[in-house]
Structure 1
Amino acid sequence: MNRITATYDIESPLGVDHAATVLAGEQSTGTFTRLAAETDELRERSAARIESLTITGSSPNPSLPSRKSGPAYERGTVTISWSLDNFGVSLPSLFSTLAGNLFELAELSAIRLLDIGLPKEFALAHPGPQFGADGTRELMGGHEGPVIGTIIKPSVGLSPSETAELVQTLIEAGIDFIKDDELQANGPHCPFEERLKLVSRVINLHAEKTGKRVMYAFNITDEIDQMWRNLDLLQEHDGICAMVCMNSVGLTGLRAVRDRSPMIVHGHRAGWGLFSRSPDIGISFTAFQKLWRLAGADHLHVNGLASKFTESDEVVAQSARSVQQPVCEGDGPQHLAMPVYSSGQTVWQIDPARRLLGNDDFIFCAGGGIMSHPSGIGAGVIALRQAAAAAKEGVDIEMYAANAPELKSALETFKKPSIDL
């Protein structure tokens, strides 16, 4: 069936059935009153349909402020569908339909987009990830195992030369992947072009000497024309990865980078809490990541287990798995991406991170988990590799550490987190 579906968790003082009808009308052929032009034939062709509806509960109070009130606020899950003919395969138009005015409807005292179902026409119409996990490994020279990475810290304040010095230390320590912080793009204190020039010199010299190319995700986030110029500069310096803050540039900006980029697009979800933190309004990662993948992100941040952020481990696990699942229904392109774990990660989280995926196709970014190792940055990288080896071999990490001094020291340094999976 050539239709798009969206599943929402909604609450209403007027009943879920009525609210779903209003929602479907608002996001297709209807408005606050019946129109003469809204004929039966037009509605049959273009109106949104309620495909399913399940009541899940009721509350005496609204979850969100609402201009309308009632004796109770009924909650339920509803799936709505639209004909593909309403908006074709346009990602911006799709987003306006799935997450537009419906979030403001007075009939709703809670609304959260849980998931979307897309026909294969969407996968065929959009480029999707250019490299994904396999391409990432190939560009790194056939890298095996999880990609061990880190973030430039302090986030801001370092000059281009100081950044390059830190990169030199990290690559000598054996790191696989380094990324700019999302706060560092093209500031006056650390301009993009100068940072790119000095950091690339360090990385390229190391690659010439050792044959290993460390992947550096340079933050190109900016206006579209400047991001294109940044991509051109990256090519001139043999860059292989461009980082984009996806919520800052939007789906159109992300697609503009993908269409112009001969390199990996590293998708950072800075600002994600705006969409995800409340259980009563927003968008789930499961839904949004499909749009980012269609627009061309090769890597997608999914938070980390037992992290410093608010998301539960269950949500992180679901997010990580989702980017390795087909983006659309049917037999179209799968457009698989590579999950990126980050935020408060240490040697303790590698095994559960791997187990929940069942593979090594992920990037594991640790800042303090590397740089705060008591024996130095090199030992921090080695400890993470040892933790990854223990996970792959199915050996308890503390038992493995008996013959791995760097790992043993890391386990003693970093408190064992409570991971709820």
Structure 2
Amino acid sequence: MAERIYASYWFETGGDPARAADTIAGEQSSGTFVALPTETPELKARSGARVERLEVLGTSPTPSLPTPKVSSVYTQCLLELSWPIENLGACLPTLMATVAGNLYELRSVTGLRLLDLQLPLSFAAAYPGPAFGIQGTRGLAGVQTGPLIGTIIKPSVGLSPEETAQQVRELVAGGIDFIKDDELQADGPHCPFEDRVRLVMDVVNDHAARTGKKAMVAFNLTGDLDRMRRRHDIVLAHGGTCVMVCLNAVGLVGLHELRRHSQLPIHGHRAGWGALSRSPALGFDYAPLQKIWRLAGADHLHVNGLRNKFSEPDDSVIAAARAVLAPVMPGVDMPAMPVFSSGQTGLQAHDTYAAIGCADLIHTAGGGIFGHPQGVSAGVEALRASWDAAMAGESLAARAAQVPVLARALEFWK
């Protein structure tokens, strides 16, 4: 049986749902806005998209998206389409144009959100996926159980390379597992990339030589392809163990080409995600897009955090983390490590652990570490103690009675 690609959508139209679904299927495959003699029944059977499922969910008197009012009734549906793999081959950029292209702009569509994506095995054969994933990351970070306790260099921008290195010095002295650049910090003139890498890795390598523990630092090398390759090589030459890119900024081709070049784990930041997801009537769920990013080579993927500082609700965060940990397709795991961030402290440890059922994650806290009244080392210790309590099935209060820095942290973690 020939391989097919399946995509599921939440879909709204002011017209007949079946006719609108057929319009979408034609627009995204062999059809256009007028009938053409070259679209023969044989060609359509071979290359046309199929409407596999159309289920009416409900109606409303107004459209979900700004649209010229053409109807008094707008119908919401679940829609599943499929395409033969022969239309595009195992090509991620063309896949995006197929499942998330002009269908969003059709006049008959007044709301559309990509919910899920099922890909044939030929994509797994064409794309290697994460080179390191969970186990490779654990090996390089020296953390075999529990989460990687992490943080973000703060302030996001404004620190010099020397000031950044001093912040890293305090963090590694406190036993931090993971440190990342902010997505806003890459190679600005106030903090040049090469100088930052050299000074930071001098600190990390010196600490590792003395203690045997080497923190993983994700240096943000977001840029054009040549610069990303060069920056990767700088990190590698200085003994670094991770690089970071802003996924929506570098795109699928940028991520895939970096994966082909990289000898280090790739930390995938999803900056700009809200523009793709915040409207419930437009854009993407995280589940389908993270599959594409994993295939292209991301080893770590941000999923926001519970009770975060942004607008995303907890159920969406949990679904995102579970998606990153799930197989990318039946029989193909390609595991990536979910990254929890955005206003995190030890107060989220128990709920995060319970929600995803494991500790295969990176938990990053900025203010939750740097704001500890006893200093950075105490902040790291307190966050780690909260996770130790969560995994042991012990309350924060009970663990705080044994760990004074956790007790102090509970005074300012709000």
**TM-score interval for Structure 1 and Structure 2 normalised by the shorter chain:** over 0.9
Equivalent-residue separation in structure 2 for 1:25 and 1:66 (angstroms): 21
Letter in 2 for 1:162: E
Matches within 5 A, 1:321-336: 321-329=322-330, 331=331, 333-336=332-335
Equivalent-residue separation in structure 1 for 2:104 and 2:143 (angstroms): 46
SS in 1 for 2:360: coil
Decide which moves more: 137-146 or 164-173: 137-146
Matches within 5 A, 1:189-208: 189-208=190-209
> TM-score, length-normalised on structure 2?
0.98
SS in 1 for 2:186: coil
1:140 is aligned to 2:141: yes
* 1:286 corresponds to: 287
Is the Cα contact below 8 Å between 1:61 and 1:73 reproduced in 2?
yes
SS in 2 for 1:302: strand
Letter in 2 for 1:362: L
The structural deviation recorded for 1:180 is 0.2
The structural deviation recorded for 1:270 is 0.4
Letter in 2 for 1:352: D
The structural deviation recorded for 1:141 is 2.7
The structural deviation recorded for 1:202 is 0.6
The structural deviation recorded for 1:124 is 1.9
* 2:382 corresponds to: 383
1:131 is aligned to 2:132: yes
* 2:396 corresponds to: 397
> TM-score, length-normalised on structure 1?
0.97
CA deviation vs aligned residue, 1:24-72 (integer Å, no higher than 9, x gap): 0000000101110000110111100011111011111111122461121
Is the Cα contact below 8 Å between 2:141 and 2:178 reproduced in 1?
no
CA deviation vs aligned residue, 1:84-106 (integer Å, no higher than 9, x gap): 11100000000000111111000
Matches within 5 A, 1:106-121: 106-121=107-122
Is the Cα contact below 8 Å between 1:123 and 1:335 reproduced in 2?
no
The structural deviation recorded for 1:206 is 0.8
The structural deviation recorded for 1:399 is 2.1
* 1:255 corresponds to: 256
* 2:222 corresponds to: 221
Letter in 1 for 2:122: E
The structural deviation recorded for 1:19 is 1.3
SS in 1 for 2:51: strand
SS in 2 for 1:109: strand
* 1:188 corresponds to: 189
RMSD, aligned CA:
1.0
Letter in 1 for 2:132: F
Equivalent-residue separation in structure 1 for 2:378 and 2:71 (angstroms): 62
Equivalent-residue separation in structure 2 for 1:336 and 1:395 (angstroms): 29
* 2:308 corresponds to: 307
SS in 1 for 2:98: helix
1:91 is aligned to 2:92: yes
* 1:318 corresponds to: 319
Equivalent-residue separation in structure 1 for 2:171 and 2:287 (angstroms): 33
Is the Cα contact below 8 Å between 2:245 and 2:268 reproduced in 1?
yes
SS in 1 for 2:109: coil
CA deviation vs aligned residue, 1:323-353 (integer Å, no higher than 9, x gap): 0101113x3x311100000000011101111
* 1:364 corresponds to: 363
Letter in 2 for 1:304: G
* 1:419 corresponds to: none
* 2:265 corresponds to: 264
The gaps in structure 2 that reach 5 residues or longer are: none
SS in 1 for 2:316: helix
SS in 1 for 2:230: helix
Is the Cα contact below 8 Å between 2:13 and 2:75 reproduced in 1?
yes
Letter in 2 for 1:33: V
Identical aligned residues as a percent: 53
Structure 2 CA distance for partners of 1:68 and 1:33, relative to 1, 3 Å = farther
Equivalent-residue separation in structure 1 for 2:287 and 2:335 (angstroms): 13
1:413 is aligned to 2:412: yes
Decide which moves more: 7-16 or 83-92: 7-16
Letter in 2 for 1:269: R
Is the Cα contact below 8 Å between 1:68 and 1:107 reproduced in 2?
no
User: Where in structure 1 do 4 or more consecutive aligned residues deviate above 2 Å?
Assistant: 141-144
